[in-house]
Chains A and B, each alone.
Chain A
């Protein structure tokens, strides 16, 4: 069965420090991968998605970047964190388009607090 791992679960970082959040998927090949951010009491905002190794699409301009060094690994990064980067970050995956399976499966999330 497929599983998704996201870490760390919580993170407190000072303003100006770097960030690296990691997400890995097991039990499937060539997934589409997504990074979302969820503000308190709000819905999800798509930050990045990837349909393959090295292929990253950004949905909103921001202080963050994403990379996909391996098929089932997706990394969210920042060189210098801002206070506004605080939030709850969720990694998700779907099967590729055309498989008939459209559900998104989510990691457990990372609560990031920038101080």
Chain B
């Protein structure tokens, strides 16, 4: 069974600093997707970034980028120039994808609480 581990329950950085959130996963699958979701205090779950396992190039979205190490099964999120609005819970998620599957099932990490201090 697939598992996702986020080893940092909570992190705190000063505004404008760079922060990296770690995520490791365990799977025997070759085709899959990885996601980082953000859940601010409003509790709305928002997609931050997505990575396809077959792509070697790391995904980037503005200030957010990932370091995807497939062999090490590691998928860390880097937030550059952090802003107060980045304060939230961040969840790493794994999605297995096979053509025979009828739906997408996400396996979630326990989350990292990120606090950006002014």
- Give B63-118 interface residues, CB cut-off 8 Å to A: 91, 95, 97, 99, 101-106, 108-111, 113
Is A97's beta carbon under 8 Å from chain B? yes
* A92 to B91 alpha-carbon distance, docked (Å): 15
Is B106's CB under 8 angstroms from A103's CB? no
Q: B11 at the A/B interface (Cβ < 8 Å)?
A: no
Interface contact A49-B103, CB-CB below 8 Å: yes
Please name all residues of chain A whose beta carbon is closer than 8 Å to the beta carbon of B35 when the two chains form the complex: 103
Q: CB distance A42 to B104 under 8 Å?
A: no
Report the tally of A-B residue pairs with Cβ distances under 8 A: 59
Chain A residues near B95 (CB, 8 Å)?
102
Instruction: Name the CB-closest residue of B to A94.
Output: B104
Chain A residue with minimal CB distance to B103?
Answer: A32
Are A43 and B110 interface neighbours, CB within 8 A? yes
CB distance from B41 to the nearest CB of A (A): 12
Chain A 47-69, CB within 8 Å of chain B: the 1/0 string?
Answer: 00101000001000000000000
Tell me if A21 is interfacial: C-beta within 8 Å of chain B. Answer: no
Contact of A97 among B50, B104, B111, B113 (CB under 8 A): B104
Q: Mark A98-110, 1 if CB is under 8 A from B, else 0.
A: 1000111110110
Whether, in the assembled complex, A75 has its beta carbon less than 8 Å from a beta carbon of chain B, the answer is: no
Q: What range describes how many residues of A lie at the interface?
A: 20 to 34
Report the nearest A residue to B97, measured CB to CB: A102
A41: Cβ under 8 A from any B Cβ: yes
A87 nearest CB across to chain B (Å): 12
Q: Which residues of B contact A49 (CB under 8 A)?
A: 103, 105
Given contacts A44-B106, A51-B103, contact A102 B50 (CB under 8 A): yes
- Contact present for B111 and A108 (CB under 8 Å): no
Q: How far is the CA of A94 from the CA of B101 in the complex (A)?
A: 13
Proximity string of chain A (3-46) to chain B, C-beta cutoff 8 Å, 1 when within and 0 when not: 00000000000000000000000000000100000000111111
* Residues in A neighbouring B101, C-beta threshold 8 A: 97
**Residue ranges of B at the interface with A (Cβ–Cβ < 8 Å):** 4, 33, 35, 42-47, 50, 91, 95, 97, 99, 101-106, 108-111, 113
Task: List 9 tightest A-B contacts by C-beta distance, closest first.
Answer: A43-B108, A106-B45, A44-B108, A32-B103, A43-B110, A51-B102, A94-B104, A109-B43, A102-B33
